[in-house]
Amino acid sequence: MRPPASPAPNAPLPAVSPMLRRLAEERATGALMRESGTLYLADGQVVHAESPATPGIDVLLTAGGTLARAGWWEAVAAAGARQRVAAYLVDSGRVPGGALELCHLGAVYDAAFFALAPTSTPARFRYGVSHWIGPVHPVAAGSVERETLRRRELLDRIWPDGAVDTAPLVRLPDAAAVPLTPRRRAVLAAVDGSRSAAEIARGLGRSAFHTLVDVRRLAAAGALDAVRSYGRPEDASSGPRTGAPVLPEVTPDPDIALLRRLRDALEVL
């Protein structure tokens, strides 16, 4: 399968969500609710995002020991009603401001990728709604759209079978012979025939999208596949396991380089 063609430099960006674009132009404030998640806007910018497919910012902060679970719930109890949880965490010294901003930015892009997935279910917008996390670092809606498109194209270049993104995963017989990085070794170790990539990401306390990157690379290497209802995983392969396209995760684009540094920073939290 050929990777999707990149748009020409001056070509208009394809609309991931026409409603998001319109709300950004209106400088709207509220919650854009879609089938796979919710984006919160303030003056047309994305200030938070949530999706059931991704670990929340609480998981990202607490899984690596940056914040104790008790500290998180204390912040929610003390400042949630005032929609100042982020400010409380920083002002009380529980989380450094830079670490919170990096973690929040990662959570926003992660959840937005899933929330903006193609769907036939109509989106809804509730004006005036804001999230209890409070102000952290707003992101332009156009930046969210560009990153969402880049991530879709990246996944398809790595391995074009999206079944591994959502189905339970199973290890293949040749998995033991595949050379692995520590990150992918941890992902593969969590594959048990019943857990999906999203469940593995939540268990590891990692970005769901970057877990998908690891899962697709493992699929391309012949280490795992989706559990399929009509036979063994390898019987349903969309193509030969050898010679599968495995391209670099990033491009020289400075925005992409920033996101890679963000990913690396989140991994050591």
pLDDT in tens, 64-99: 788 999 999 999 999 999 999 999 999 999 999 999
Q: Categorize the per-residue pLDDT at 262 as very low, low, confident or very high, splitting at 50, 70 and 90.
A: low
CB 100 within 8 A of CB 90: yes
Q: Categorize the per-residue pLDDT at 244 as very low, low, confident or very high, splitting at 50, 70 and 90.
A: very low
Mean pLDDT of 250-256: 40
CA distance linking residue 52 with residue 59, whole number of Å: 13
**pLDDT over 70 at 258, yes or no:** no
Q: What whole-number percentage of the chain has pLDDT above 90?
A: 74
CA distance linking residue 38 with residue 80, whole number of Å: 18
CB 52 within 8 A of CB 37: yes
How much is the CA Rg of the chain, to the nearest whole Å? 19
Span of 29-38, 185-194, 230-239 with lowest mean pLDDT:
230-239
Q: Retrieve residue 267's tokens.
A: 């991994």
For 179-190, b/e burial (b = at least 16 CB within 10 A) is: ebeebbebbbeb
Q: Categorize the per-residue pLDDT at 153 as very low, low, confident or very high, splitting at 50, 70 and 90.
A: very high
Q: What whole-number percentage of the chain has pLDDT above 70?
A: 79
Sign of the C-alpha dihedral, residues 191, 197, 199, 200? positive
Tell me, what's the pLDDT at 100? 93
Sign of the C-alpha dihedral, residues 94, 98, 102, 105? positive
Tell me the residue length of the chain: 269
Question: Helix count (H) and strand count (E) of the chain?
Answer: 11, 7
Tell me, what's the pLDDT at 33? 97
- pTM of the full structure: 0.79
